[in-house]
């Protein structure tokens, strides 16, 4: 079911968005060469406890997950692009790390993701992150009252296709509110002018993610982590956005 939020409810979602942004900034800053992924998960967990927030991930068990997630942040490295389950891995120089985090504050959820390079960057990784960031910006710019879901999807796809990237539509953006994942689904490829009309009060997570060499993925033996079928690297960017008559409002904006 698609729900529309009042202006007062959107204001009530701001603390969740600000908290999610702070956690991503803190974990990204802590992601140095020699740091274990489990340490990043502990940092996020400590921030959840100290702020009185609730994890959206730790007990999360959708149909595509092998078991409850069991951690509070997704840490996807190199050829892993989505749902990376934190494990005993020490970050190395040049790793491409995607962090995806969602939490509930006072009953409202926000969801966001960022990709960074740990240590010495590869030019190709920086270009991929830059493209994914531009795709997110394009999707947000299209999230205006009077447009349709397809306009967001088409805006994201135009950026990816211009840089020669293929697009997987199995996972994409989604509604956000009292729960982490709701309607509508927002694929990262689509036709402008098609799909659900965008109305004032719709709150969605817009999340382009791309792989350098393929649009095919497979699931790790851990039952969660999604990897590129050809071993190429991936990047993932996401913001929670409120669609309003005054324009899109990014609730998870990072300072």
Is 183 annotated as belonging to a binding site? no
DSSP state of 136: H
The answer to whether the beta carbons of residues 109 and 83 sit under 8 Å apart is no
Which H or E run contains 115? strand 108-117
CA 123 to chain centre: 22
Is 181 annotated as belonging to a binding site? yes
The answer to whether the beta carbons of residues 117 and 93 sit under 8 Å apart is no
Is 200 annotated as belonging to a binding site? no
Is 111 annotated as belonging to a binding site? yes
Cα separation, 233 vs 211, whole angstroms: 6
Cα separation, 85 vs 15, whole angstroms: 26
Is 41 annotated as belonging to a binding site? no
Is 83 annotated as belonging to a binding site? yes
For residue 186, which of 201, 198, 197, 175 has the smallest C-alpha distance? Answer: 175
End-to-end, the C-alpha distance of the chain in Å comes to 33
Those residues with Cβ within 8 angstroms of residue 36's Cβ, 6 or more apart along the chain or in another chain: 88, 89, 90, 91
Exposed, middle or buried: residue 145 (CB in 10 Å: 0-12, 13-18, 19+)? middle
Is 239 annotated as belonging to a binding site? no
Cα separation, 239 vs 109, whole angstroms: 12
DSSP 85-111: ---S-B--TT-EEEEEEEEEETTEEEE
Point out the annotated binding site: 83, 100, 111, 174, 181, 207, 238
Point out the annotated binding site for substrate: 83, 181
Point out the annotated binding site for a divalent metal cation: 100, 111, 174, 207, 238
């Amino acid at each position: 079911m698609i729900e529309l939020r009042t202006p007062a409810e959107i204001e009530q979602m701001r603390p969740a968005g600000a908290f999610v942004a702070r956690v991503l900034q803190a974990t990204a800053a802590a992601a140095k060469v020699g740091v274990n992924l489990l340490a990043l998960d502990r940092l996020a967990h400590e921030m959840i406890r100290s702020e009185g927030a609730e994890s959206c991930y730790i007990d999360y068990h959708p149909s595509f997950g092998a078991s409850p997630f069991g951690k509070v942040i997704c840490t996807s490295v190199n050829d892993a692009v989505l749902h990376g389950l934190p494990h005993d891995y020490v970050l190395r120089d040049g790793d491409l790390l995607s962090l995806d985090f969602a939490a509930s504050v006072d009953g409202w959820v926000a969801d966001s993701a960022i990709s960074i390079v740990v240590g010495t960057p590869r030019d190709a990784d920086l270009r991929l992150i830059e493209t994914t960031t531009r795709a997110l910006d394009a999707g947000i710019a299209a999230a205006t009252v009077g447009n349709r879901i397809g306009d967001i999807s088409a805006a994201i796809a135009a950026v990816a296709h211009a840089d020669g990237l293929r697009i997987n539509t199995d996972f994409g953006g989604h509604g956000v509110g009292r729960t982490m994942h709701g309607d509508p689904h927002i694929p990262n490829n689509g036709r402008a002018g098609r799909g659900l009309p965008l109305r004032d009060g719709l709150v969605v997570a817009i999340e382009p993610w791309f792989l350098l060499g393929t649009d095919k993925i497979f699931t790790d033996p851990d039952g969660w982590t999604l990897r590129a079928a050809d071993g190429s690297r991936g990047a993932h960017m996401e913001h929670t956005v409120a669609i309003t008559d005054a324009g899109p409002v990014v609730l998870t904006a990072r300072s």
